[in-house]
Structure 1
């Protein structure tokens, strides 16, 4: 398998194979044995019926999911790719068509129904779909890679927004056809190239015609939570920060806010000096070594917001079972920090810390261009965040997005500007 299963899936698969061998007294080939044969051994492993909420039973499902994915890889060159929304933290994709499955979900459903042979039905359905693509008019196109899937599917980027509650509510109360007309009208008033407008319309508006025209989009959040969130963003966002990877926000940018601009630094140990000498980015060491000047939440979102400080942007999303990509945040904790934040002071602190490490190491920092890029990006994004929180009039929200979403955000901003611009009416 070109992109193998995540380590925890591999471990579960090995555990299941070992357990099957023990209860059956012989090896069971999880890649070739009929699923009905494997299913016959399940009660022996579990000591009874499969229970969806039992953690030990979930390990069995995870191990079988690894085997199912490996079978798909052998037949179709399927691969795992990072997908934070999937229960196993990754999903399986195919090079010949944009098709995503969660092997863990499929195995859980099959075990809950007492019918592991259902996996053969799923495999047959995949085989038919890929056959149609390979031999159809679209056959022979460019192959998709794990990185292509991750860019399109995995919500690995974030940005902060200030949203106008009244505009958000108006969008939620609107019906699909009204929103579609407004967006198309706004697109026509932009200076975007025709191919960009066409692509935007295809990506953003394709779901609206499938919704019930007689109901507001808020009443249909269970059917299309993503498009409802997107309409809220398109019509309700007043200002926003740039987008960056989740890890960059959570592990570097927001910790810098809680650290502040210290005048002195704590002692460093041999391990930290060794990391510095090996070329670790001084900014990353700064975040690891220097304590927070203001206590951050021990748990919660991005290490900066308690769970009680995070909520859906609208009560209608409480009905949706899908992971939320748009969340409302309480700014009580971070607003004072942002008011005190000074980008120049932050950069100066990191520079002084670098000299401090050089003194302790007895030599200069190894060249690290990435450090300068990260420091500049952190400075820009925290300045953005300060502006939207301290100057913005509305509610602070967090938007989770794919890399593809992040790349198209500039086009979204142009359309949003057209939606809010005054319209010239000729008498």
Structure 2
């Protein structure tokens, strides 16, 4: 592993980085590597505890694991950096189910997938790094390529997946429903998960948008999502967060009018630094009277606040991801004929809403789950062009991944929390200095928050 890192580091400041990186093709692949894992014999460690009390620092371990055999259509990547997503939090607290059930099911699919059914799960659904090896049949990528990975894993042996790959019956999220994820020194991905690393970004910056930027792109921009157009009023929950930070940028750059919902003055300031003008303090509203009863009066007050900011307009699109806590309000405030597009449910999966406001006002609810390869590629292209920027606020070394996940679990973070895997320090991997200089303030606006 030291030789691999040395070869990658040789590209720093080199006149021809690609030539230096190509040397990895001649290096031996290590028999093992360090990865962040949860262990099957610990799935009951948090039994009886409330969700908020469960601590990822107790269940996420950095340990040496064997390097898996590379299969056809796959690539082995030396991971320089990764990032924390909420699915890693779910994995670490074994909610809503243990991810070992996913690995066991996947392992039954074929001789090749049997590799994933192990007593440990290497987690992580983001990665930026360098291709070390490619499997049989891979022609687009070669050793030495600088890449980022999106997290959609598909088999595409069923016709259902060939219009939209998210309809593939064997669609999975890499590093969550598969093994050998990105929070590690090495990762195994399918070659159709790979995309070019944005040349003006560091490793940790390039690793951070993959899951959340692609998810937000499909939710808002794609015809599979809300098909956002210029002038649309878009209500964005958690607008300065890992997912919402990209939704806010996509709305602004797509000519829409974001209404940003945040929970602190600091988060409101981050939205304004992105260019958003309309911001609502989430803490001013309490949508539940108790565990069973929502406060419809608060829905109305919330809707009135939105109209006050927009000059009387209701949201054309509501960008939903908190779930249970906010969903009733989201359905209520969407305009007549409007759309609530939802992914995830960080505050709870069992949503309740008053269906009268949906059917009588011909509103739509669209479920959206990550993105297909085309959508992820287009979202990454916007990053590479400097139109959309990373939202990294802080990074941790691989050894402190548990602490990074703990902060995301406790919502004690802004934007995205990065993890350095092989990268020894922040700031490495930048190849296009001129493009970076043009966007440096925007690239760094979340840093230190």
TM-score range, shorter chain: under 0.3
- Higher share of residues assigned strand: 2
TM-score by length of structure 1 reads 0.23
TM-score by length of structure 2 reads 0.22
